[in-house]
Copies of this chain bind each other. A is one copy, B any other.
């Protein structure tokens, strides 16, 4: 990040008619945006939610409350504008960019086709993907981000769609944050107690069968990850490489962000947190990235919904930086004690 731009923004923030630092995270966001864009006057031009879709062979283990056919059904729902992410992106004046990185059944319509496979393999029986597939999915995410940056988008939100994808996310978070499996396995879309036990067992078995190397994020990603999780990581890496900030959505997105952070630690400086999910492993995953959630809405929907709400708050930070009066302009006395 550009320290000079950030220092200039700090001076400006401290000249505004408010106690120094009293706008907390809004001030931090303004500085972060300036540091990323390398200017004391950061601007948001076009915003997009990059929703990556993929399926998971591990659904065979009975780890999800919804059947796999819901992934393509929800892809159509997003293309038709009826999903929660469409509603929240519309409110934020942002686009939803849906990418198929590997839905089990091909879908047609207004989405980007970057299919790597018909979903992953069942990770309890072997690797979810080959290392080559993981790389392909990572590159797919990077390509989508790069294309949108070329079109003038300069603020992203991550998002995803994929029945069963809290299971690989829990596996990744467990491995990369050194957490016990039981501490990072939640109810996903709403599985019952027996389902939670099956989910834990599936993750434990996948780790035992595949022996992922925690020092090699690509190994973890390919063995116990997901195609859409790889694409999220890729979109984050490309955003960072192109000096574009990216808002990290919930649990699955944060698992993708952990992969990105392991592959390129500097990418963390381009991440903006959004909400704290109900999914129990999310706090651990965020802590692994040094991120504190801004929103406390008890959400657990995915698609990019928490990140989409956060667009507004990032814009609040820039409005404050641009529009507030200074002590000098407004004739307000500065702090005396």
Contact = CB atoms under 8 A, between A and B. Distances in A.
Nearest to A62: B337
Contacts of A26: 297, 299
Nearest to A322: B87
Nearest to A82: B325
A25 B319 CA distance: 26
Contact of A67 (B64, B293, B333): B333
Contacts of A333: 66-67, 69-70, 73
B66 A335 contact: yes
Interface string A1-41: 00000000000000011111111111000000000000000
Contacts of A313: 295, 297, 309
Contact of A23 (B84, B190, B312, B324): B84
What is the interface of chain A mostly: helix, strand, loop, or mixed? Answer: loop
A296 B299 contact: no
* Max chain B C-beta neighbours (<10 A), residue from A62, A88, A276, A309: A88
Contacts of A76: 330-331
Interface string A295-337: 1111111000100010011011001100111000111111111
A294 interface: yes
Q: How many residues of A sit at the interface, in one of the four size bands?
A: 35 or more
A110 interface: no
A192 interface: yes
A319 B299 CA distance: 16
A178 interface: no
A130 interface: no
A77 interface: yes
A300 B22 contact: yes
Contacts of A336: 65-67
A9 to B, nearest CB: 16
A195 interface: yes
A225 to B, nearest CB: 22
A320 B88 contact: yes
A280 interface: no
A294 B296 CA distance: 5
Contacts of A211: none
B77 A332 contact: yes
Interface in A34-67: 62, 64-67
Contacts of A189: 19, 22, 335
A241 to B, nearest CB: 29
Contact of A319 (B80, B88, B324): B88
Contacts of A300: 19, 22, 24
A43 to B, nearest CB: 15
A93 B87 CA distance: 19
Given A17-B77, A319-B90, A296 B295 contact: yes
A278 interface: yes
A215 interface: no
23 contacts: A17-B82, A17-B83, A19-B66, A24-B299, A24-B300, A25-B296, A25-B298, A25-B299, A64-B337, A65-B337, A70-B332, A73-B330, A77-B330, A82-B325, A83-B325, A83-B330, A91-B315, A190-B335, A192-B337, A294-B296, A295-B296, A297-B313, A309-B316
